[in-house]
Structure 1
Amino acid sequence: MQARNTTTGYGAVSKALHWAVAALILGMIPLGLVAVEWPYDTSDALATKALLFSIHKTLGVAVFFLALVRIGWMLTQPRPAPLHPERRLETALAEGVHWLLYVSLVAVPLSGWVQHAAAAGFAPIWWPLGQTLPLVPQTPDVAAAAGAVHATFTKLLMAALALHVAGALKHHLVDRDGTLARMLPGRPAHASTAPLPARRHALAPALGALLVYGLVGGAVVTLARSGGESGARPGVALPAATAAATPSAWIVETGELTFTVRQMGSPITGGFGRFDADIAFEETRDAAGHHGSVTVAIPIESMTLGSVTQQARGPEFFDAEAHPAARFAADIVAAEGGGYRAEGTLALAGAEVPVTLPFTLDIVDGVATASGTVTVDRRDFGMGESYPDEATVGFAVEIAVSLTARRGGAGEGGGA
Structure 2
Amino acid sequence: MPRYTLLQRLLHWLIALIVFGLLGAGLAFWALGYGGLKDLLGEETTNTLYMVHKSFGILLLLLTILRIVLRLRTPPPPYDPPLGALERLVGGGIHLLLYVFLIGLPIGGWIATAASGYPIQFFGMTLPGIIGENKELGEMMFFYHGIGGLIVGVLVLIHIAAGIKHWRLKDGIMTRISLP
TM-score by length of 1: 0.40
User: Which structure is larger by alpha-carbon Rg, 1 or 2?
Assistant: 1
Q: 1:91 aligns with which of 75, 81, 88?
A: 88
Matches within 5 A, 1:14-413: 14-36=8-30, 37=32, 38-41=36-39, 45-85=42-82, 87-121=84-118, 124-133=121-130, 136-173=131-168, 175-186=169-180
More strand by percentage: 1
Which AA in structure 2 matches 1:116? T
- Report the CA distance between 1:84 and its aligned residue: 3.8
Q: What do the CA deviations read for 1:120-143 (whole angstroms, capped 9, x no partner)?
A: 13784435352522xx12111220
Which AA in structure 2 matches 1:109? P
Which AA in structure 1 matches 2:8? S
2:18·2:56 contact (CA, 8 Å) conserved in 1?
Answer: yes
- Structure 2 portions without partners, runs of 5+: none
Distance of 2:80 and 2:163 partners within structure 1? 13
Distance of 1:122 and 1:8 partners within structure 2? 45
Count, aligned residues: 176
Distance of 1:152 and 1:65 partners within structure 2? 22
Q: What do the CA deviations read for 1:332-391 (whole angstroms, capped 9, x no partner)?
A: xxxxxxxxxxxxxxxxxxxxxxxxxxxxxxxxxxxxxxxxxxxxxxxxxxxxxxxxxxxx
- Structure 1 portions without partners, runs of 5+: 1-6, 187-416
Distance 1:131 1:33, change over 3 A: farther
Distance 1:103 1:143, change over 3 A: same
- Report the CA distance between 1:149 and its aligned residue: 1.7
Q: Which consecutive segments of 4 or more residues in structure 1 shift more than 4 A?
A: 122-125
- Report the CA distance between 1:15 and its aligned residue: 0.7
Q: What do the CA deviations read for 1:135-181 (whole angstroms, capped 9, x no partner)?
A: x12111220221122111111111111111110100011x2211112
Distance of 1:159 and 1:90 partners within structure 2? 18
- SS of equivalent to 2:37: coil
Distance of 2:12 and 2:51 partners within structure 1? 24
Q: What do the CA deviations read for 1:218-258 (whole angstroms, capped 9, x no partner)?
A: xxxxxxxxxxxxxxxxxxxxxxxxxxxxxxxxxxxxxxxxx
- SS of equivalent to 1:24: helix
Q: Which has the higher contact order (CA 8 A, sep 6+)?
A: 2
- Report the CA distance between 1:87 and its aligned residue: 1.4
